[in-house]
Amino acid sequence: MTIKLFLSAIIKFILGFTLVTVLLFLPAGTLRYPNGWLFMGILFIPMFAAGIVMMIKNPELLRKRLNAKEKQHEQSLVIKLSGLMFIAGFVLAGLNFRFGWLPLPQIVSYTAAIAFLLAYLLYAEVLRENTYLSRTIEVQENQTVIDTGLYGIVRHPMYSATVILFLALPLVLGSLFSFAAFLVYPLLIAKRIKNEEQVLEAELDGYADYKKKVRYRLIPFVW
């Protein structure tokens, strides 16, 4: 662990917390938005804990996860569109609460919160199984194909976890309008996966054989 890595992680955490707070509570017109605080809790408390664990046990993995600069134009576009999706989703959720558009029963939000936390655990398991995971598409030095655990079920379990996370997110916030915005995410991920697999098949030894062994990319028996 280095001071530079620690400061980078803390700064990005604070900036992320601040940005989400503004995007949610400013449109809501109040800090008295219970679903907003529920979401902030289940997002940032596990995120902070995971960051501490990675900083202690695997600082190199943390460094990779902090780097979000895509080198490929196609993937850079996916990241930008995802950013717009998040902005729209959070703002719509805040406005939904402010004006009372189609409010969801609290049981839906609580159930979605449980699904969100379970997906977070799934995400953590993927990080444990694959220490090569960066936020950008690249083949790293000495990288090998992992075909056990969750990678023996689908080829991209990290994206499977994020689909659950991001579809549960607007339901935690209690907004069907926000949910409609986040429905774009599976389409963006499908595009990202197709490009990522082209890179991996061309540059990572054994990936072509792995694709034959594990047929499904994201959802078992579906795709």
Q: How far is residue 215's CA from residue 154's CA, in Å, rounded to a whole number?
A: 7
pLDDT in tens, 21-66: 999 999 999 999 999 999 999 999 998 888 888 787 777 777 766 7
Radius of gyration of the chain (CA): 18
Q: What is the pLDDT of residue 129?
A: 81
| Residue 194 · residue 61 · CB < 8 Å | no
Through-space distance between the first and last CA atoms of the chain, rounded to whole angstroms: 39
Per DSSP (E only), the strands in the chain are: none
Out of 56-70, 89-103, 134-148, 192-206, which region has the weakest mean confidence (pLDDT)?
Answer: 134-148
CATH code that applies to domain 3-213: 1.20.120.1630
Tell me the C-alpha distance between 132 and 140, whole Å.
Answer: 7
Q: Where does residue 68 rank: exposed (0-12), middle (13-18), buried (19+ CB within 10 A)?
A: exposed
What pLDDT was estimated at residue 80? Answer: 85
pLDDT tops 60 at residue 137: no
The first and second tokens of residue 130, run together, are 């694959």
Are 94 and 26 contacting, i.e. CB atoms less than 8 angstroms apart? Answer: yes
